[in-house]
Amino acid sequence: TSVEVYFSFAAAADGSEIVNGKKVPDGKMPYMVSVQNGKGHICGGFLYNEEFVITAAHCDVEKPSHVVLGSNNLNNNKTMRFKIKKCKHEDYTKTTSGNDIMLLQLSNKVEQIKLPESGTNVSPNTKCTVAGWGKTKSDGEQVKELQMVEVSVINLNQCRMVWKKYKGNIPNNVASFCLQGDSGGPLVCGGMAVGIVSFNYKYNCNYPNLPNVYTDVSKYIDWINKTVKQKKCK
């Protein structure tokens, strides 16, 4: 199965905040989810419908047990916590082989974000947004307040050339956004979650000009709908 991902450039991370990024006001991006285990935040995610969250399959290695939502500040005592059941894509083995997508079934129902139609393409230069609670530099600590940055989709061939310089093997499309440690969060274009943060070069924020990889949500709409209908997450 081919890897389905997007290409774009974004700001790199430096210091306590994302360069050219900003904190997200509370009440904005209510679809954002913090995927957590007993130690705290491990991945980002976003609401698909009132009962399911979409995140990256590779986040399962950290053994997520619940999700937190309802506030952009993870220290806010008004956040809501939900236990989860997991539906990882059956063909997922590793990030670079694709299918890096997982559904989390919530113990209670909430509000969601729109998804693109199956096969939707995002044109080059489209302005999109990435948000998360991940690290703002490779050796830094995770932030507690939701951060966001605007990115622009770039040409596929341009991205391939950039990765080739680092001997990277990237199929199809890629996106660049360096918020290390916040895999699973959405790439939002026109109010729709079109991508899922998957992986970057050597899990390192020190390559700001090297695009990171996002799973193309539109290629998995059928799988999402089938999995949601079956409700067999474990």
Q: What is the dihedral of CA 55, 86, 113, 138, to 10 degrees?
A: -20
Domain ranges, ordered by start, for the chain: 5-230
Distance separating alpha carbons of residues 31 and 42, to the nearest angstrom: 17
The owner of tokens 């391939």 is: 160
Which position has the higher pLDDT, 14 or 46?
Answer: 46
Q: Is 226 exposed, middle or buried (0-12, 13-18, 19+ CB in 10 A)?
A: exposed
Distance separating alpha carbons of residues 35 and 40, to the nearest angstrom: 8
The overall pTM is greater than 0.75 = no
Between CA 72 and CA 82, with CA 76 as vertex, the angle to 5 degrees is: 80
Q: What is the pLDDT of residue 180?
A: 41
How confident is the model over 8-32, as pLDDT tens digits?
A: 333 333 322 334 457 787 778 888 8
CATH number of this structure's domain 5-230: 2.40.10.10
Residues marked active site are found at 58, 100, 183
How confident is the model over 30-40, as pLDDT tens digits?
A: 888 999 999 99
The DSSP symbol for 228 reads H
| Among candidate residues 31, 20, 56, 19, the one with its CA nearest the CA of residue 195 | 56
Which position has the higher pLDDT, 148 or 6?
Answer: 148
How confident is the model over 54-111, as pLDDT tens digits?
A: 999 999 999 999 998 877 777 776 678 899 999 999 999 988 788 999 999 999 888 6
Q: What is the pLDDT of residue 73?
A: 73
The length of the chain in residues reads: 234
DSSP 132-177: ESSBSSTTSPBPSB-EEEEEEE--HHHHHHHHHTTT----S--B--
**194 contact partners, CB below 8 Å, separation of at least 6:** 6, 116, 120, 122, 128, 186, 187, 188, 216, 217, 218
Cβ atoms of 147 and 17 closer than 8 Å? yes
How confident is the model over 174-215, as pLDDT tens digits?
A: 443 333 435 688 888 888 888 887 776 555 555 456 666 778
| Among candidate residues 207, 1, 231, 161, the one with its CA nearest the CA of residue 94 | 1
Q: Is the pLDDT of residue 138 over 60?
A: no
